[in-house]
């Protein structure tokens, strides 16, 4: 099995300090949370940014400031900005972080970014809209900018959409998926197996279990040969009724499980750094 790659989704766009005061908003808080996850063993930071008051933003400048602050603390980490942003944002707003360069590490654009492959309900009357036209435009722009997409899928139909986009040349192989379990499709072992068996051959995958499903889904990925995403974006608790103190605490829990189960894990997957 490949070494386990852990992604830390440190911030998200929806969770708030009212729910867990350790959710980062400011640049300094975001950089500190990224460092806590990196020090614990995360090799990818899935990044959303906020204004200081917690309002989600896709501002290019805010991402640049956050990425530079993270890079100072985490020299080898892969920074994966969100192009999902928050519900209701326009496509142009959402794409801004794919323009951020990091000359200090020789990057004209981020190494990775998310590419959400379908529309889904996000609770209440919130709908996260990703039309075929949006997916196609985002995929083509990511190819132009040499940004590796992490294909976010919230149900099996979104895997089929990604395969359709691959056939159109909008997504290149090898395809890498993040299977988000517990927003639309249930976070069960049966449904995770169904999703994994629906992936195109040669694809790699991580799983993001939502809420109390985060750690059980990560444990399944560890034994199934996938990779794991944890962090405040998807889950605020380290155990039932106990808020997580940091993203690093969640990453450490996954590392402990991986060690117990004998799955080696990878700290720094950037070329030449493993
Ligand atoms: N905040 C959600 C509306 C992504 O990062 O690409 C979208 C999201 C997915 O979190
Ligand atoms: Zn996200």
Going from the Cα of 261 to the center of ligand 1, the distance in angstroms, rounded, reads 30
Residues 6 or more apart whose Cβ sits within 8 Å of residue 169: none
pLDDT greater than 70 at residue 57: yes
Region 137-162 average pLDDT: 98
pLDDT, tens digit (0-9, with 9 covering 90-100), for 164-214: 999 999 999 999 999 999 999 999 999 999 999 999 999 999 999 999 999
> Ligand 1: which residues within 6 Å by Cβ?
13-14, 82-84, 86-87, 114, 116, 122, 128, 152
Going from the Cα of 49 to the center of ligand 2, the distance in angstroms, rounded, reads 10
Q: By C-alpha distance, which of 119, 145, 123, 153 is closest to 134?
A: 119
Helix (H) or strand (E) holding 56: strand 56-57
Ligand (nearest to CA of 158): 1
DSSP state of 53: T
Region 22-49 average pLDDT: 97
Answer yes or no: pTM beyond 0.85: yes
pLDDT, tens digit (0-9, with 9 covering 90-100), for 69-103: 999 999 999 999 999 999 999 999 999 999 999 99
Q: What is the pLDDT of residue 273?
A: 43
Region 140-164 average pLDDT: 98
Q: Which atom of ligand 1 is nearest to the CA of 48?
A: 5
CA distance 130 to 139: 12
Q: What is the pLDDT of residue 267?
A: 73
- For a mutational test of ligand 1's pocket, the pick from 114, 206, 234, i.e. the residue with the most ligand atoms closer than 8 A to its C-beta, is 114
Q: By C-alpha distance, which of 237, 180, 223 is closest to 19?
A: 237
Neighbours of ion ligand 2 (CB under 5 A): 82
* 6-10, 232-236, 268-272, range with the lowest pLDDT: 268-272
pLDDT greater than 60 at residue 270: no
Helices assigned H by DSSP within 50-101:
60-73, 91-95
Going from the Cα of 46 to the center of ligand 2, the distance in angstroms, rounded, reads 7
What is the overall mean pLDDT for the chain? Answer: 96
CA distance 154 to 193: 14
DSSP state of 13: S
Q: What is the pLDDT of residue 268?
A: 62
pLDDT, tens digit (0-9, with 9 covering 90-100), for 206-253: 999 999 999 999 999 999 999 999 999 999 999 999 999 999 999 999
Q: Which atom of ligand 1 is nearest to the CA of 46?
A: 5
């Amino acid at each position: 099995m490949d070494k386990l790659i852990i992604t830390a989704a440190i911030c998200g766009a929806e969770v708030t300090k009212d729910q867990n005061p350790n959710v980062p908003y400011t640049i300094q808080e975001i950089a500190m949370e990224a460092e806590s996850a990196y020090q614990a063993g995360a090799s990818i930071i899935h990044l959303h940014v906020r204004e200081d008051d917690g309002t989600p933003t896709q501002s290019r400048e805010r991402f640049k400031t956050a990425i530079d602050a993270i890079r100072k603390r985490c020299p080898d980490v892969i920074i994966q900005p969100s192009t999902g942003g928050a519900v209701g944002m326009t496509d142009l707003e959402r794409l801004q972080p794919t323009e951020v360069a990091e000359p200090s590490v020789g990057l004209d654009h981020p190494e990775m970014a998310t590419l959400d492959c379908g529309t889904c309900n996000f609770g209440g009357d919130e709908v996260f809209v990703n039309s075929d036209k949006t997916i196609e435009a985002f995929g083509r722009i990511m190819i132009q900018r040499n940004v590796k997409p992490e294909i976010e899928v919230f149900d099996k139909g979104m895997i089929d959409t990604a395969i359709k986009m691959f056939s159109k040349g909008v997504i290149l192989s090898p395809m890498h998926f993040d299977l988000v379990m517990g927003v639309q499709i249930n976070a069960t072992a049966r449904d995770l197996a169904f999703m994994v068996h629906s992936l195109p051959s040669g694809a790699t995958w991580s799983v993001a279990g939502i809420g109390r499903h985060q750690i059980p889904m990560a444990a399944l990925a560890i034994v199934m040969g996938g990779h794991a995403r944890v962090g405040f974006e998807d889950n605020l608790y380290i155990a039932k009724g106990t808020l997580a103190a940091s993203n690093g605490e969640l990453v450490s829990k996954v590392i402990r499980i991986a060690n117990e189960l004998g799955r080696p894990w990878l700290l720094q997957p950037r070329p030449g750094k493993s």
